[in-house]
Structure 1
Amino acid sequence: MRSRNLLPLSIGLIVFYMFFLTGIQLGRLDVLLSRRAQSRDLLNQEFKLLRCKYSGGTSCQTTVAGDYSIDRVVAALQDTTTSTEPTATVKTCRADENRDCTETKKIVFIKTHKTGSTTLASIIERFGYTRNLSFVVPPNRKFGPHILSSTQMFQRKMLKNSPPPLNGGKYYDMLTNHVRYNRREMNAVIPNATYLTIIRHPVKHFESSFAYFVWDRIVTKLEGDIDDPIGAFMENPNKFLKEKFYFWWQAHNGQLFDLGIQPSRVDDEAVVDAKIRALNEEMDMVLISDYFDESLLVMKRQLCWTMDDILYIPNAIRSQQFRRYVSKESEEEILDWNKSDFKLYQHFNRTLWRKIREYGPCFDEDLKIFRERRQQVMEQCIAKGKFDRKDPRETRYVLKPKASELCKNLWRGDVTFTKLLRNKQLNGRILHIPKEQ
């Protein structure tokens, strides 16, 4: 009799437990579907919040989609995107190094100011130097022997006294020294080239330029000693700009100036938008200084180069005394004052992250491998605790005694490579300049 009474109770408990398990699974499914929906919505926004958070933007919105903070959104995005990607192994990722393609050997690099461009120029120069490629280089001179021009757009007549290409060639292979972008004239000297440049977040670019070019001097001249020279400058930047101080053209949308827009037109929205559209079509890649290693990996794949081709030792570390305080208020003022450069930065920062997504599941593993390899060459090449401080603005690493040729090439900067390349090409012949078509 007792067993009969227990039977309905046992069945009830079993049914309840089954419903309980079903509820848990439905709850998990609801969370998964909700999370996937969040991911889809975020991806459709082109990683806008993610890029803003990590690009140093100062005007990012702090909330989105109800009560989701940026940190929660980024965490959800990372969780949902990584969980659906297949796991890439080192073996499958490194197989990419042997894919069927031909390395790019014709490059025009538009070297912008204070963007990490010297390190990138050195990477490209090392690649060309070790392959006996011909470079457009300035003639030998006391001042600026590694600069074609900081203010003029490129003209082929600039090469009148420059060394000719190697082996009697008619055209050059690479251009990496400072000169403003002029596509038609550059094409005449290096036809069918791949075009690269690098840009930087405008706040970081302005602070670096302000310190490196010592713009404190113009503030002191007009305002006296100021505790916050950048803050004083940004209160009335046009007043200082009228003084035409050292490298003044870099103070107001200087990156677009390097890319071909005249100072008088950098605030013309129609001109700026047209320029960005043109650059989007004409530049094969725009690297982002704030994501230097990530940009190099994308460039490596695009140029069909190897991991060793993009290794680098930083050319210099800016001295602490040449760093300037930037308040939150000044950051906003700098972005407003350089809104055209900021528009340029936002466009190509978005482009970079799209290319990173297109890179596929190997990107994180390749980035890890690349940084480990970089650390290895630093340990292999650089003397611990020794620095070169000849230029008070920056500190350079010192090579170990009896450093290998690889270490020497990694350590060499733009100035050194330009001298080596000039001497290599200089054989007394007059350069044949192609006639304008």
Structure 2
Amino acid sequence: MNWIRKRGIRKRCIWLLTASVFTIPVILQILNSTRSHDLTAGSNTLEPRNHIAYVKVHKAASSTIQNIFLRYGYQRNLTFVLGRSANMYPNVISLTESITKYNIEPRPPNKSFDILCSHVIYNYNAFRAIMPRDTVFLASVREPFEYFISTLHYFRPSYIFNISDPDPISVYLQSPARYEPQKVKYSMTNNRMAFELGFPKELFHSRNLVGVNDYLMKLDREMDMILVVERLEESVVLLRRLLHWQLQDILYLPKNTFKDMRNETKQKLNKNFIIRNDSKEKYMRWAHLDYMLYDFAVQRLDRQIQNQSPDFQDEVRHFKLVRGRLQEFCMQTSRPYRPDTLIIPSSAWNHEFVADSLMCAQMTLIERKFINEVRYRQYGVAVDD
């Protein structure tokens, strides 16, 4: 057993060294890239950018970020790309393929699409075919092991939890390929972030480092920004600058998080759920693509922040303060002593604005209900919830 363990560690070290040989040139190329993503600080004086294509990656703060786009678009009567009304899940276009003429509703008469923010697999050409030329391309990612834990909580994959053992997670991590669905598109734990961001299917089998880095370079050319969950407030402030929006447009309350579930739900989901000290190391060996994607996104975010004006971190601190005040205000909705409005004074980064019960209601509205509201406005069709 010791020999096997040492051999596994040696194999992992060799993989990491090999990965670094291929990844470092890619990072240097990205750092020297001449592509300009318009991340300007003075967004209060520039025309807002209203055409958004957001890749809603599962368990990567995507419901929280989606709510920002739903509120913004709904308030301005913008047109959303929606899945077919017959779909079981209103907030899903497809979990296995990109956009086709068969899985989205047609454009309303005399309108073009403005915002895409429902679940669908990324494909640049498919997105570009239905979105305006000036569309901003966005996505979000999360530290892969944290993603894995969140997926276990939320989806309870049967191919893992049906393993006949008191500790199915550890058994699965010993040999994930043995238990995974045969087709990658049916898995939520086989480098799912990479799958949803459109990585070529052959890379899930070959793990070819040249191919992975080629695709990361492709994403660097296509994506205006990739938000990072572990640095969400920085990411969202950068997003505000990219889109030339107002501070109130990008405020959010966390949605679909495990800690917000009721205690009885948590107890049910935690049944037979054991994470051991070596679980992360084992998962890292399996999630090669997701880890390379995540490292790429973090380094890219760092680069974009470094190119910001000196007041960027001051704006982030201001955003955190305002968001905290808004969250406290909205969480008091049912209390009789809560004031009707919350006035946010002007600052170097925002005009004075007023938060009210409607703003809180839209921030806390369940995404499938929000999508159904959008669907009714666009198509006059109400879908049973």
User: For the superposition of Structure 1 and Structure 2, which TM-score range results when normalised by the shorter chain?
Assistant: 0.7 to 0.9
Q: Is the 8 A contact 2:159 2:181 kept in 1?
A: no
Hey, which of these two has a bigger chunk of helix by percent? 1
What are the equivalent positions in structure 2 for 1:367-386 lying under 5 Å apart?
Answer: 367-383=316-332
Unaligned 5+ runs, structure 1: 1-59, 61-94, 387-398, 429-437
Corresponding residue for 1:285? 225
TM-score, scaled relative to structure 2:
0.75
- Once the two structures are TM-superposed, the CA of residue 186 in structure 1 deviates from its matched residue by 1.4
1:108 maps to 2:53: yes
1:412 maps to 2:351: no
Q: Which amino acid aligns with 1:256?
A: A
Identity of aligned residues (%): 26
Q: Secondary structure at the match of 2:150?
A: helix
Corresponding residue for 2:187? 249
Q: Which amino acid aligns with 2:137?
A: Y
1:207 maps to 2:156: no
Instruction: Give the Cα–Cα distance (whole angstroms) in 2 for the partners of residues 400 and 419 of structure 1.
Output: 30
Q: Is the 8 A contact 1:133 1:174 kept in 2?
A: yes
Give a deviation string over 1:128-149, Cα, whole Å, max 9, x none: 1111110011232362121101
Instruction: Give the Cα–Cα distance (whole angstroms) in 2 for the partners of residues 317 and 345 of structure 1.
Output: 20
Instruction: Give the Cα–Cα distance (whole angstroms) in 1 for the partners of residues 339 and 379 of structure 2.
Output: 31
Larger of the two Rg values belongs to structure: 1
Q: 1:179 aligns with which of 106, 120, 130?
A: 120
Instruction: Give the Cα–Cα distance (whole angstroms) in 1 for the partners of residues 329 and 313 of structure 2.
Output: 24
Corresponding residue for 1:240? 179
Q: 1:425 aligns with which of 378, 382, 385?
A: 378
Q: Secondary structure at the match of 2:102?
A: helix
What are the equivalent positions in structure 2 for 1:289-308 lying under 5 Å apart?
Answer: 289-308=229-248
- Once the two structures are TM-superposed, the CA of residue 412 in structure 1 deviates from its matched residue by 2.1
Corresponding residue for 1:273? 213
Instruction: Give the Cα–Cα distance (whole angstroms) in 2 for the partners of residues 347 and 174 of structure 1.
Output: 26
- Once the two structures are TM-superposed, the CA of residue 200 in structure 1 deviates from its matched residue by 0.8
Moved more, 300-309 or 258-267: 258-267
Counterparts in 2 of 1:419 and 1:219: CA distance versus 1, 3 Å: closer
Unaligned 5+ runs, structure 2: 1-15, 17-39, 342-355
- Once the two structures are TM-superposed, the CA of residue 349 in structure 1 deviates from its matched residue by 0.2
Give a deviation string over 1:105-159, Cα, whole Å, max 9, x none: 0011111111111110110111111111100112323621211011112213322
Q: Which amino acid aligns with 1:308?
A: Q
Q: Is the 8 A contact 1:151 1:179 kept in 2?
A: yes
Q: Is the 8 A contact 2:122 2:197 kept in 1?
A: yes
Corresponding residue for 1:148? 93
Instruction: Give the Cα–Cα distance (whole angstroms) in 2 for the partners of residues 132 and 219 of structure 1.
Output: 43
Q: Is the 8 A contact 1:249 1:257 kept in 2?
A: no
What are the equivalent positions in structure 2 for 1:96-175 lying under 5 Å apart?
Answer: 99-141=44-86, 143-159=88-104, 162=105, 164-165=107-108, 168-175=109-116
Q: 2:132 aligns with which of 191, 204, 224?
A: 191
Q: Secondary structure at the match of 2:163?
A: helix
Q: Which amino acid aligns with 1:173?
A: D
Q: Is the 8 A contact 1:315 1:411 kept in 2?
A: yes
Q: Is the 8 A contact 1:121 1:176 kept in 2?
A: yes
Q: Which amino acid aligns with 2:73?
A: G
Q: Is the 8 A contact 1:127 1:309 kept in 2?
A: yes
Corresponding residue for 1:311? 251
Moved more, 344-353 or 233-242: 233-242
Q: Which amino acid aligns with 1:418?
A: I
